[in-house]
Amino acid sequence: MPKYIFNKDTLSYEVYKSSGKLKVFRGLAFFAASVAVAFLYLWFYTSVLGCDLPKTAFLKKNNARLNSQLELLNRNLDSDAEYLESFQSRDNDIYRSVFGMNEIPEEVRNAGFGGVNRYAYLDAIDRTGLLTRTEVRLDILTKKAYVQSNSFDEIESVAKKAGDMAACIPSVPPVVPDKNTYRISSSFGYRSDPFTGTKKRHTGMDFACHVGNHVYATADGVVESVSSGSYGYGKFIVVDHGFGYKTRYAHLSSIGVEEGMTVRRGTLIGLSGNSGRSSGPHLHYEVMYMGRYMNPLNYMDLDMGKDEYAQVTEKALSSRNPA
């Protein structure tokens, strides 16, 4: 609607025409006033009333939702970590032990998580540290699960050969069980040392017998070492049977096998003697499992019949000399 003003000269009303500069000035003034009011409103809304802007409120709500999801994820990780620790304990204490496999050391299970900070890229966006901690836990559990998976694969491979395990456990005497040809002169455990008289642990069993008595492998295996020393064990043989088992035959007069040779239960491997640090003719026999000395008496039946033992030695001989 046009604006009119009274003209004193013509004594009439005329249409008012404002200048362009004035219009620009008024427009700028109105814009500046609007901006000032807007800033004043924002200041009052955020600083005085303590309210968040819509975008800030949306981001906070979204951040809270993500934090809740991370906390839930961490609770699930707690549960997964407990399950994994249970698997690790059973793996070391039961599964690997049953098959004569060494435990997996903790430094192997926890390898690869020290040193350089691989999560520095999260520092700028993770003020609370929750995201970084979650990422670290995921990496650790993933690595441990990978190690555990490999362990189960190894156990599965060994378990497929479990049928061979029975043949690798030293379960017969190292000499013919004829009590007219030997006697147990010293058992496993602590005893009075025959040379010093002091109490000392005896790591095997002694079969007192004449020099030249036949000595047999007590389980299938591979000859790990042969020694012809003149002290300590004297002439001796160590057979590695696998699955964590090893046996030693010491103070021999002669040795009938070589290192690396495969032997069967009942294979003649040497003759008893009096070599090394010995107080009389005898066979010193040891059973080792996972590096620990075991009582050989727990692995044999000394009441085994001579005929039954002869079948074992004949089977070993026929396996080396097939018809």
Alpha helices in 91-115 (DSSP H): 96-98, 106-109
Asked which of 160, 177, 192 is the last residue of a domain, the reply is 160
Q: Residue 315: name the closest of 220, 221, 182, 215 by CA.
A: 220
Report yes or no on 19 lying in a domain.
yes
Do residues 140 and 200 both lie within one domain? no
Phi (first) and psi of residue 28, to 5 degrees: -65, -40
Report yes or no on 135 lying in a domain.
yes
Neighbouring C-beta atoms of residue 224, cutoff 10 Å? 15
Q: Which two tokens stand for residue 99?
A: 């098959």
Does pLDDT of 323 surpass 50?
A: no
What's the alpha-carbon Rg for the chain, to the nearest Å? Answer: 44
Do residues 226 and 148 both lie within one domain? no
The percent of residues above 90 in pLDDT, for the chain, comes to 37
Based on the number of CB atoms within 10 Å of its own CB, is 190 exposed (0-12), middle (13-18) or buried (19 or more)? exposed
Residue that wins the pLDDT comparison between 131 and 219:
219
d(CA 299, CA 218): 9
Length of the chain: 323
Asked which of 133, 160, 187 is the last residue of a domain, the reply is 160
pTM to 2 decimals? 0.59
d(CA 221, CA 266): 11
141-200 pLDDT, tens digit per residue, is: 888 888 888 888 888 887 777 667 888 999 999 999 999 999 999 999 998 887 787 888
Which domain range does residue 129 map to? 60-160
- Residue 115: the pLDDT is 55
Distances in Å between the Cα of 144 and the Cα atoms of 103, 115, 121 are: 14, 18, 24
The percent of residues above 70 in pLDDT, for the chain, comes to 85
Report yes or no on 76 lying in a domain.
yes
Least confident of 97-106, 191-200, 281-290: 97-106
4-24 pLDDT, tens digit per residue, is: 666 677 777 666 666 666 667
CATH number at residue 282: 2.70.70.10
Does pLDDT of 57 surpass 80?
A: no
Task: Give the sign of the dihedral formed by CA 297, CA 303, CA 309, CA 312.
Answer: negative
Asked which of 160, 184, 217 is the last residue of a domain, the reply is 160
Do residues 200 and 140 both lie within one domain? no
Number of domains in the chain: 3
d(CA 273, CA 237): 13
Angle between helices 54-90 and 130-159 (to 10 degrees): 30
Q: Sorting pLDDT into bands at 50, 70 and 90, what band is 288?
A: very high
Do residues 283 and 250 both lie within one domain? yes
Q: What average pLDDT does the segment 215-232 reach?
A: 94
Do residues 155 and 247 both lie within one domain? no
- When the pLDDT of each residue in the chain is averaged and rounded to a whole number, the result is 84
Do residues 303 and 192 both lie within one domain? yes
Q: What average pLDDT does the segment 234-248 reach?
A: 95
Does pLDDT of 68 surpass 90?
A: no
Do residues 299 and 173 both lie within one domain? yes
Which run of H or of E encompasses 67? helix 54-90
Report yes or no on 124 lying in a domain.
yes
Phi (first) and psi of residue 10, to 5 degrees: -100, -5
Report yes or no on 242 lying in a domain.
yes
Which run of H or of E encompasses 265? none
Does pLDDT of 206 surpass 80?
A: yes
Does pLDDT of 296 surpass 70?
A: yes
Least confident of 72-76, 252-256, 313-317: 72-76
Do residues 187 and 267 both lie within one domain? yes
Do residues 149 and 226 both lie within one domain? no
Report yes or no on 53 lying in a domain.
no
Do residues 269 and 181 both lie within one domain? yes
Q: Which two tokens stand for residue 204?
A: 């095997």
- Residue 116: the pLDDT is 54
Does pLDDT of 53 surpass 80?
A: no
Report yes or no on 55 lying in a domain.
no
Q: What average pLDDT does the segment 266-284 reach?
A: 95
DSSP conformation class of 110: T
242-263 pLDDT, tens digit per residue, is: 888 999 999 999 999 999 999 9
Do residues 195 and 290 both lie within one domain? yes
Q: Sorting pLDDT into bands at 50, 70 and 90, what band is 217?
A: very high
Do residues 66 and 38 both lie within one domain? no
Report yes or no on 219 lying in a domain.
yes
Q: Sorting pLDDT into bands at 50, 70 and 90, what band is 28?
A: confident
